[in-house]
Structure 1
Amino acid sequence: MTASADAFKAIADPARREILRLLRDGEMTAGQLAERFHMSRPTMSHHFAVLADADLITRRREGQTIWYGLNTTVLQDVVAWMLDVTEPQRTRRKT
């Protein structure tokens, strides 16, 4: 599987990478995440949407509260792809 261009676009932004770091230890609400940043609500919502569209985070609603979590499967795919790209090219056998 190749990593999605959306995933690379999403992790290109430092704020979105920080959101992913914060979610390493488990789900957090949108409010808990927003408290860690000096950004407007619309800006935070945009970051959440970009991460969700890239399938890097999950979101679920409980009443008025939105919970975000990591989608570790997609993150593992992105990391595996990056490691494969950066690994020195191996000599291929001729058949």
Structure 2
Amino acid sequence: MGIPDTFKALSDPLRRQVLIMLKSGAMTAGDIANALGISAAALSYHLNLLKKAELLMEYKQKNYVYYELNTSLFDELVLWLKQFGGEENEK
């Protein structure tokens, strides 16, 4: 996925809230849905968009699927955004 897909995924406030929740560590979809007060189906839609944009990674442990931030993509985004920071960042 490219930068346009990433920004599209980041454009939704609920998806941004999911990312903020995952800053503190991996969570299951059930835990995320309960914290946000949304259905599993609604969350599944948002998680799929975040995964397609490569903002999230998932892994299975026993009977649970955990989601966590793809920090390497966030590092790339920060580097890309810094080019618009002006002369202070060029030094």
**What is the TM-score normalised by the length of structure 2?**
0.84
Q: Is residue 38 from structure 1 mapped to residue 37 from structure 2 by the alignment?
A: yes
Unaligned runs of 5+ in 2: none
Poorly superposed stretches of 4+, deviation over 2 Å: none
Residues 14-56 of structure 1, C-alpha deviations (whole Å, 9 max, x = no match): 1111111111111111111111112222110011000000110
The corresponding residue for 2:9 is 10
Q: CA RMSD in A?
A: 1.8
Unaligned runs of 5+ in 1: 91-95
Identity of aligned residues (%): 32
Could you say which structure has the greater relative contact order, defined with CA pairs below 8 angstroms and 6 or more residues apart?
1
Shift of 1:62: 2.5
Aligned length: 87
